[in-house]
Amino acid sequence: MPHEPVRRYLVELATAWANRAEGPVAPPPGFEPEQHAPALRAALLAHNVEVPLGALLPPPLREAGFEAQVATSRARTTALLLEAERILPLVGRHAERPVLLKGAALALRTYPEPAQRWFLDLDLLVPRPAVGPICRELEHAGYRPLPGGRDPRFYEKYHLHRILLGPAGACVEVHWDLTLPGSVYHLSASGVTARARADQLGRQHVWRPCAVDQVLHATYQNIADGWLDLRRVLDLALLVPALSPGEQKMLAELARHSGLERALALSLHVVKCVAGVGDEAAGSLERALGPAAWRMARGLDVVGGCLDRRGRSVEGYTALLHLLSTPRGAQRWRELGRLLWVGEERLLDMGHQASALPGLWVRTRVGAHQVLTAARMGAMAGRALIAP
């Protein structure tokens, strides 16, 4: 967990970057370079914001190893965008409007320069019937399926994309949906495709989500990860202020329709606290979350949890934030039941094979672990509600 001076410096760097600062940002009081600089650089790398925020560090706080990581990150973004340009004609043979999602789409147009947005893989949204032909086309071009140790049935029945690994190490996720089956949130894939904007990537035509859909998709990813990614704070710090009044109205309507209204309010709160970027629509969204939920969010210190990447280290934290974001009370009880239920989906996600699912003993042991997780969640919620 970063020291408090490191936290404060991360916030000052994010705020300065969102305000288009160009010069170095001096460390806050209490920041001791010898003691805190290694932790700061480690935090920037963990959040994958070493390129945009690292550029604002004074030269004494940058060292050779960190600069090498920055150069690698910049090269990775360039290589992935070139790979996207290479495979788009193959994908276009089977999908009329393949939509480039997430990091690649944001790097292409939203960021001041593409290399500022680090991303891990290429995400493409296509119609479900086109997934098989596109994957076969990519396999002919040197890609291979990457199941990640899970039975293929998990991806076909309980997931929303297939993963392929390319000959040069690039990963491609071929999405047919944007929210998991049975989720209380639903961001319509067909709606995102219909609202997508035409663009150009090198010599290839490409489609990217409109800004409103990029905001909502980032919000859904925040729920899935437990608000642990400073990259998404920077994404929203660029996207939200640029929305027109009509787009702000569309955002509020789509957030309500997709069940993401409460999570969007929480995301905008984190963006405001970390990057200093507010939004006129945030007031109405805050009312959707409600006083008790706001009290819990502040007691949980969601802002600090983002900076500390708490969703990776505190079991039950991400699930608790998901319950906090769930649109209605009855759905929260349903989601709590899903957390405790040990069915095929959970067992396949753990790496078991569909043809050899474990018996009662393993299911009981997993179920007991989930009960303990729920108990931890209850304890966290209780402490958050009574926090001053």
- List the chain pLDDT tens, one digit each, 388 residues: 567 999 999 999 999 999 999 889 999 999 999 999 999 999 999 999 999 999 999 999 999 999 999 999 999 999 999 999 999 999 999 999 999 999 999 999 999 999 999 999 999 999 999 999 999 999 999 999 986 778 889 988 999 999 999 988 899 999 999 999 999 999 999 999 999 999 999 999 999 999 999 999 999 999 999 999 999 999 999 999 999 999 999 999 999 999 999 999 999 999 999 999 876 555 566 677 888 889 999 999 999 999 999 999 999 999 999 999 999 889 999 999 999 999 999 999 999 999 999 999 999 999 999 999 999 999 999 999 998 7
Concatenated DSSP letters of 71-104: HHHHHHHHHHHHHHHHHHHHHHTT-SS-EE-HHH
Which CATH number is associated with domain 83-209? 3.30.460
Q: How far apart are alpha carbons 27 and 29 in whole angstroms? A: 7
Q: What does the DSSP 8-state code read for residue 175?
A: E
**69: its two tokens:** 């990581």
Q: Half-sphere exposure of residue 355, counting CA atoms within 13 Å on the CB side?
A: 2
| Upper half-sphere CA count for residue 25 (Cβ side, 13 Å) | 23
Question: Under a CB-based contact definition with an 8 Å cutoff, are residues 342 and 365 in contact?
Answer: no
Domain parsing of the chain, residue ranges: 4-62, 83-209, 211-388
